[in-house]
C-alpha cells in the first residue's frame, strides 16, 4: 500500500520540478543536510507512508481484513480505447453442429413429440415405433429401465461409488448440450434441487427449496436464452480416483466454467458461490468476470458497507 502512495508522491514532486520549482540546496544548506541525512531519511519514509495511507483513504474503502480494497469511484475509462482482452467474447452465441441445418421452427421441434403421438396410426408418426412394440410394453420397459451393468458394478464402485449407474448417459447429455449451441456473453451459475424422496446416498435436504428433499444439481446456463451448457450433480464423497472432487463452492464454479474458460464471458452467481478470491482467480487465469452477491459476514467487506 505504501509503495503505491510513494509512487504518487514522487510523481507529484516531479510535476512541481517541471513547473519551475528548484529543489537544489545552497552550500550551507547542503552541509547542514549532510549531518542530518539519517534522521531526515527516517522522517521522509514515515511521511511517505502517511501520505500513502491518506491517498488510499481518499480512493478506497478497506475491508475488515485490512487487505481488500474497494474503489470509491468508478474507474475512469478514456474514450476511443480498445476493449480490454478480458472483456472480449471470443466465442459469440451461435447454433452449432447439425442444428445449423435446421431452417424452420417445425424442424427444430420435429423430435419433441408427446409419447402418445409416436404410436398414432393416422400417418403422422413413424411406423417404426408401432412395428417394434406396443405403447404399453414401451411404458413397462421404461419403468423397469436400469443403467447398472452387473458384470462391471464392483469395478465401477471402486472409483465412482455414487453416480456409476447413470454416469455414462449423464455425460452423453452434457456432450449434446455443448454440441448444438454456443452460449452468449452472459451466463449464470446456480443450484437447483430436483425433488426426489427415494433411496439415494447423496440425497439432500434444503429447507428453503420448494421440494426440500431431492438431488442437488449445479448448472451453467445462458442468461438470455436459458440454454443449459453444463450440469454437475452433487454426488457426495467419492472414493479415491478420477471422480473424487472438491465440493467447495469455488471448486464447483471452476468445474462448470471449463467449457468457457478464456472466452471473456461474464458470470452471474449468488452469495453461495461469490468470493473475492474466486473473482480474482477467474479474471487472472480464465479471463472471466463475475457479478455476484455477498454474505454480510465476509471479512473482505468494509464495516461501512454494513451500516444500513
Percent of the chain with pLDDT over 90: 19
CB atoms within 10 A of CB 231: 17
pLDDT of amino acid 220: 94
pLDDT digits (tens, 9 = 90+) for 56-86: 567 888 888 888 888 887 766 666 767 666 6
Dist. CA 279–CA 288, nearest whole Å: 8
What are the C-alpha distances in Å from 172 to residues 97, 165, 168?
15, 13, 6
In the block, residue with C-alpha cell 414401451: 138
Q: Is the pLDDT reported for residue 37 higher than 60?
A: no
CA dihedral of residues 239, 245, 247, 253 (deg, nearest 10): -160
Average pLDDT estimate for 287-305: 89
pLDDT at 181: 83
> What are the start-end ranges of the H helices in the chain?
2-18, 27-35, 37-59, 105-108, 127-132, 135-144, 153-157, 167-180, 249-256, 276-286
**pLDDT > 60? residue 143:** yes
Question: 267, 221 in Cβ contact below 8 A?
Answer: no
Identify the pLDDT of residue 5.
39
pLDDT at residue 109 in the model? 60
Angle (deg, nearest 10), helices 37-59 and 2-18: 100
Q: 194: which 3 cell numbers?
A: 430436483
Q: Where are the alpha helices (DSSP H) in 36-158?
A: 37-59, 105-108, 127-132, 135-144, 153-157
Least confident of 44-48, 139-143, 284-288: 44-48
Average pLDDT over residues 283-293: 92
Per-residue pLDDT band for 283 (boundaries 50, 70, 90) equals: very high
**Residues 101-125: tens digit of each pLDDT:** 777 766 666 665 678 888 888 877 7
Residue 18 has pLDDT above 50, yes or no: no
User: What is residue 108's predicted lDDT score, i.e. its pLDDT?
Assistant: 63
C-alpha closest to that of 291 among 191, 190, 217: 190
For the stretch 245-254, pLDDT in tens is: 888 899 999 9
Q: Is the distance from CB of 287 to CB of 91 less than 8 angstroms?
A: no
pTM, two decimals, is 0.65
Least Cα distance to 266 among 288, 294, 292, 293 occurs for 288
Residue 21 predicted with pLDDT over 80: no
Q: How many CB atoms lie within 10 A of CB 162?
A: 19
Q: Which residue has the higher pLDDT, 202 or 58?
A: 202
Res 13 pLDDT > 60: no
Closest of 123, 271, 122 to residue 190, by C-alpha: 271
Predicted local distance difference test score (pLDDT) of residue 219: 94
Query: Which pLDDT score, from 0 to 100, does residue 156 have?
Result: 81
pLDDT score at 48: 53
Looking up cell 451393468 gives 149
pLDDT surpasses 50 at 42:
no
Cβ neighbours around 275 below 10 Å, total: 20
Please, what is the average pLDDT of the chain? 76
Distance CA 64, CA 81 (A): 35
Amino acid at each position: 500500500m505504501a509503495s503505491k502512495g510513494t509512487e504518487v508522491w514522487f510523481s507529484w514532486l516531479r510535476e512541481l520540478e517541471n513547473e519551475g520549482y528548484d529543489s537544489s540546496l545552497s552550500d550551507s544548506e547542503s552541509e547542514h543536510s549532510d549531518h542530518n541525512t539519517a534522521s531526515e531519511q527516517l522522517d521522509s519514509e514515515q511521511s511517505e507512508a502517511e501520505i500513502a495511507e491518506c491517498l488510499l483513504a481518499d480512493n478506497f474503502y478497506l475491508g475488515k481484513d485490512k487487505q481488500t480494497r474497494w474503489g470509491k469511484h468508478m474507474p475512469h475509462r478514456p474514450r476511443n480505447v480498445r476493449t480490454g482482452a478480458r472483456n472480449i467474447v471470443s466465442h459469440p452465441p451461435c447454433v452449432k453442429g447439425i442444428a445449423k441445418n435446421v431452417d424452420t421452427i417445425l424442424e427444430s421441434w420435429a423430435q419433441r413429440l408427446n409419447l402418445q403421438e409416436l404410436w398414432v396410426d393416422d400417418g403422422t408418426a413413424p411406423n417404426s415405433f408401432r412395428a417394434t412394440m406396443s405403447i404399453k410394453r414401451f411404458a413397462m420397459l421404461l419403468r423397469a429401465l436400469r443403467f447398472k451393468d452387473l458384470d462391471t458394478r464392483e469395478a465401477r464402485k471402486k472409483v465412482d461409488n455414487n453416480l456409476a449407474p447413470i454416469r455414462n448417459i449423464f455425460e452423453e447429455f452434457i456432450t449434446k448440450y455443448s454440441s448444438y449451441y454456443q452460449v452468449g456473453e452472459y451466463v449464470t451459475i446456480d443450484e437447483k434441487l430436483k425433488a426426489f424422496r427415494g433411496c439415494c446416498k447423496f440425497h439432500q435436504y434444503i429447507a428453503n427449496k420448494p421440494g426440500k428433499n431431492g438431488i442437488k444439481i449445479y448448472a451453467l446456463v445462458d442468461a438470455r436464452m436459458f440454454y443449459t451448457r453444463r450440469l454437475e450433480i452433487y454426488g457426495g464423497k467419492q472414493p479415491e480416483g478420477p471422480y473424487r472432487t472438491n465440493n467447495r463452492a469455488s471448486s464447483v464454479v471452476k468445474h462448470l466454467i471449463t467449457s468457457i474458460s478464456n472466452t471473456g464471458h461474464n458470470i452471474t452467481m449468488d452469495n453461495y458461490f461469490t468470493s473475492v478470491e474466486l473473482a480474482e482467480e477467474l479474471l487472472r487465469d480464465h479471463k472471466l468476470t463475475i457479478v455476484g452477491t455477498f454474505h454480510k459476514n465476509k471479512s473482505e467487506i468494509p464495516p461501512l458497507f454494513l451500516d444500513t
